[in-house]
Amino acid sequence: MKEKSEHIPVMPKEVINFLKPKKNGIYLDATLGGGGHTVLILKSLGKKGKIIAIDQDIEAIERARKKLAEYKNKIYYIRSNFRELDIILKRLKIKKIDGILFDLGFSTYQLEDKKRGFSFSEKEENLKSFLDMRMNTSLETTAYYIVNRYEEERLKNIFLNLGEEPYIFAKKIAKQIVLERKTKAIETVGDLLQIIKKSTPPKYRFKKAKGRYADNVFRALRMEVNQELENLTEALPKAVSSLNKEGRLVVISFHSLEDRIVKQTFREMSNKNIVKILTRKPIVATQKEIESNPKSKSAKLRAIEKL
């Protein structure tokens, strides 16, 4: 069996620079994922330093337990959504913490897991993947449910607003989905890719990087399944509230919708003198990092400090 690719953390130096870990501080990695950022924070901590590692994906937590076994006495592993971070801290009897990281991308492991249906790769084995897209596999709603149950207008709006698909194609794709599911359920990645191909002209598909013509639709479905924007909007104020004075919050986003929420939230809190903005403009990856980790190309890092 082919080994899954190692997950590479985005902007690792910049994360540590802005998070500025204190030796005996308590930190929260709201998106454990592959554990890449977590281990960097751990290496910056002293004997009394602790980190709370949250992830919705039980498989991510189990991988991290093995990968970070030497640090087991310094980590609290929590399977949950980061929107519940206030409840988590209360359960752990921790009143305030010194820093929080949100890396809003999804991991290489999830992307390459053929059981999850996140990838729009046209490799034969991926085309047969079930349309799942749940980061938390205990959630009820899957991408399969959405494409087979949502009304046409709702599908169009998801592709348009979450995927930022051009209106004409968002409408055509939604219409084609509703038409085809009348005779056969849309079950796999391959089924959905065929519908997107039928609904978009070659000129549109071929001007995209190879395979990327499906990017917007897959992103929209993933975001709808996991309620990503709603969770982020709810979690950011809770994160700031949980920080000690001079505690820091670092957020890495990967598309304009997320970045807009982060930017607006930080600005509103700055105007109320709750936080100090440390990044007047978002920090982006260097060209050298982009060449070694293409995923970092769309990443934007913003950071604040609690006043």
The answer to whether 28 and 51 are in contact (CB under 8 A) is yes
| Residue 234 belongs to domain with CATH number | 3.40.50.150
Which pLDDT belongs to residue 112?
65
On whether both 94 and 234 belong to a single domain, the answer is yes
On whether both 103 and 238 belong to a single domain, the answer is yes
Domain assignment present for residue 1? The answer is: no
**What DSSP string runs through 103-137?**
E-SPPHHHHH-TTT-------HHHHT-BS---SST
| Residue 172 belongs to domain with CATH number | 1.10.150.170
Domain termination site, one of 182, 211, 226: 226
Domain assignment present for residue 174? The answer is: yes
Which pLDDT belongs to residue 48?
93
Domain assignment present for residue 209? The answer is: yes
On whether both 98 and 136 belong to a single domain, the answer is no
Which pLDDT belongs to residue 294?
87
The answer to whether 189 and 119 are in contact (CB under 8 A) is yes
On whether both 299 and 152 belong to a single domain, the answer is no
Measured distance CA(225)–CA(221) in Å, rounded? 6
Domain assignment present for residue 4? The answer is: no
Measured distance CA(71)–CA(41) in Å, rounded? 11
On whether both 175 and 122 belong to a single domain, the answer is yes
Which pLDDT belongs to residue 108?
60
Measured distance CA(75)–CA(52) in Å, rounded? 6
Mean pLDDT by 10 residues, the chain (307 residues): 62 96 96 91 94 92 92 94 96 97 78 75 87 90 97 98 95 97 96 95 81 90 95 97 98 95 98 97 95 91 98
Q: What is the pTM of this model?
A: 0.92
Q: How far apart are the first and last CA of the chain?
A: 51
Backbone angles phi, psi at 49, to 5 degrees: -70, 145
Which pLDDT belongs to residue 59?
87
On whether both 182 and 77 belong to a single domain, the answer is no
Measured distance CA(301)–CA(282) in Å, rounded? 5
Q: In terms of DSSP H, where are the helices of the chain?
A: 12-19, 36-44, 58-67, 85-91, 108-112, 124-127, 143-149, 152-161, 167-180, 189-199, 202-206, 215-226, 228-241, 256-271, 287-292
State which amino acid sits at residue 36: G
On whether both 187 and 273 belong to a single domain, the answer is no
On whether both 117 and 173 belong to a single domain, the answer is yes
Measured distance CA(90)–CA(226) in Å, rounded? 24
Of 69, 66, 11, 18, the C-alpha closest to 44 is 18
On whether both 103 and 122 belong to a single domain, the answer is no
Domain termination site, one of 226, 245, 264: 226
Which pLDDT belongs to residue 111?
65
On whether both 120 and 215 belong to a single domain, the answer is yes
Provide the number of structural domains found in the chain.
Answer: 2
Structural domain of 73:
12-108+228-306
Give the H/E segment covering residue 252.
Answer: strand 243-253
Domain termination site, one of 207, 226, 245: 226
CB atoms within 10 A of CB 178: 18
